[in-house]
Amino acid sequence: MGQNRKISALIVAAGRGTRAGGGPAKQYREIGGVAMLKRAVAPFTTHSDIDEVIAVIPAGDTAQAGEIIGDVRIRLVEGGATRALSVRAGLAEVTGQHVLIHDGARPFVSRRIIDDVIAALDTADAAAPALPVTDALWSGDAGMVAGGVARDGLYHAQTPQGFLTEAIRAAHAHADDTLPDDVGAARAQGIAVRITAGSADNFKVTTPEDFTRAERVVGSRLMDVRTGNGFDVHRFGPGDHVMLCGVSLPFGRGLQGHSDADVGLHAITDAIYGALAEGDIGQHFPPSDPEWRGASSDRFLAHAVGMARERGFTLTHIDCTLICELPKIGPHQGAMRAAVAGIAGIDPARVSVKATTSERLGFTGRGEGIAAMATATLVQA
């Protein structure tokens, strides 16, 4: 970013989409096996410059939308009877200096489009993507062509539309509820809006035919699924506790290492780096660097997860096995799963932490230390 600022993303998905046909609200319908709302939200949760993501959903749908999105970092706000009222409800919760307002019915926004809008906000109060109109335009009367319309300077509007938060809040406070988008509200208050490049894939899903088109888009894309493995070992030494998967366990000895020696988090971190083909934890946090002496290992895992998000990957599953005779892991498994999930920003149901012994064989069997191995799965759709 060109400036030091906090940027919020506001995903507006509070309508029912009656033009899309019967069945559930269109934002919950699946495209290529993934709910449209989840697809619309994902590019913002994985973007390194976006600091918070808020989704505006239909009143009464908090539990359903939360389960569908499956990302505890996303704040859910119930919307109103019109789009304008829903945007206002969302804006009331925004804490960033800038906000990107995006239609929840646009499931294929690219990182390039988001980057261009953010970059434009370095020098403009507002910016929005658009596509130049290339088709011939007619006016009509009673089902007959009445004349031609010049297409020069005409654009198909898209989202996300970016603004100074306080400016768009004020604009919406004075806006007519019938305005079709947020650029209309901004321009009604004299805010100049810069046009950035849109994309044909960034279309709004409105009709049953649009869902068919969306399935074709998904079918033309290659899903990238990555699996990485991690392994780590730390020996016992003096101490009164061990850190394992983000949880402090009272114990008569401690694990030795340059950081806090959390062997579980280290293995998980290496698994994510492995899935990204980005080396190992020692390359990113060298043990020779005094900055990391005694450091909490949640920083390492958060770095790996952040790198995955910047690449457009979603962390879908973590499996970690701790190998030791003592301490007993079973009573702490729930706390460990919750701790790992909190650091990684995923549902605890997607985290597995288990333990085994080595039948008193080897260094773990002799009680000399603890080993851990982990697998992480990343998906980029």
Helix H or strand E encompassing 299? helix 298-310
Residue of 343, 371, 364, 356 whose CA lies nearest to 272: 343
| 3-state SS class at 43 | helix
How far apart are alpha carbons 195 and 104 in whole angstroms? 21
Beta strands 52-57 and 7-12: pairing type?
parallel
Q: Long-range contacts: 92-96, Cβ < 8 Å, 24+? A: 92/169, 93/54, 94/8, 94/10, 94/52, 94/54, 94/165, 95/6, 95/8, 95/52, 96/5, 96/6, 96/7, 96/8, 96/51, 96/52, 96/165
The tens digit of pLDDT for each residue in 292-341 reads 888 999 999 999 999 998 888 889 999 999 999 999 999 999 999 999 99
CATH of region 224-380, choose from 3.30.870.10, 1.10.10.200, 3.30.1330.50, 3.30.460.90: 3.30.1330.50
Question: What pLDDT score does 24 carry?
Answer: 76
Question: What pLDDT score does 1 carry?
Answer: 42
Answer whether 36's CB lies under 8 Å from 30's CB: yes
Residue of 319, 326, 316 whose CA lies nearest to 354: 319
Mean pLDDT of 118-128: 96
Share of residues in the chain with pLDDT > 90 (%):
81
Question: What pLDDT score does 122 carry?
Answer: 94
Question: What pLDDT score does 46 carry?
Answer: 82
Tell me the two tokens of residue 278: 């980005």
pTM for the model stands at 0.65
How far apart are alpha carbons 356 and 354 in whole angstroms? 7
If pLDDT is split at 50, 70 and 90, which confidence band does 2 have? very low
Beta strands, E only, the chain:
7-12, 30-31, 34-35, 52-57, 75-78, 98-103, 126-132, 137-141, 144-149, 155-157, 161-164, 194-197, 224-237, 241-244, 247-250, 254-255, 314-323, 351-356, 369-380
If pLDDT is split at 50, 70 and 90, which confidence band does 17 have? low
Mean per-residue pLDDT over the chain, rounded: 92
Per-domain residue ranges for the chain? 7-220, 224-380
If pLDDT is split at 50, 70 and 90, which confidence band does 220 have? confident
Question: What pLDDT score does 21 carry?
Answer: 59
**270 vs 24 pLDDT, higher one:** 270
**Tokens 């995955």 sit at which residue?**
308
Question: What pLDDT score does 132 carry?
Answer: 95
Question: What pLDDT score does 289 carry?
Answer: 87
How far apart are alpha carbons 60 and 35 in whole angstroms? 18
Alpha carbon distance, N-terminus to C-terminus of the chain: 25
Burial of 110 (0-12, 13-18, 19+ CB in 10 A): middle
Tell me the two tokens of residue 98: 């800038």
Tell me the two tokens of residue 14: 């509070």
Question: What pLDDT score does 381 carry?
Answer: 59
Q: Does the domain spanning 7-220 belong to CATH 3.90.550.10?
A: yes
How far apart are alpha carbons 378 and 69 in whole angstroms? 16
Across-strand partners of 248? 243
Answer whether 239's CB lies under 8 Å from 254's CB: yes
Question: What pLDDT score does 19 carry?
Answer: 64
CA distances from 191 to 11, 136, 163, 182, 287 (A): 22, 30, 9, 11, 52
Query: Does 327 sit behind a cis peptide bond, omega within 30 degrees of 0 on the bond before it?
Result: yes
How far apart are alpha carbons 238 and 251 in whole angstroms? 10
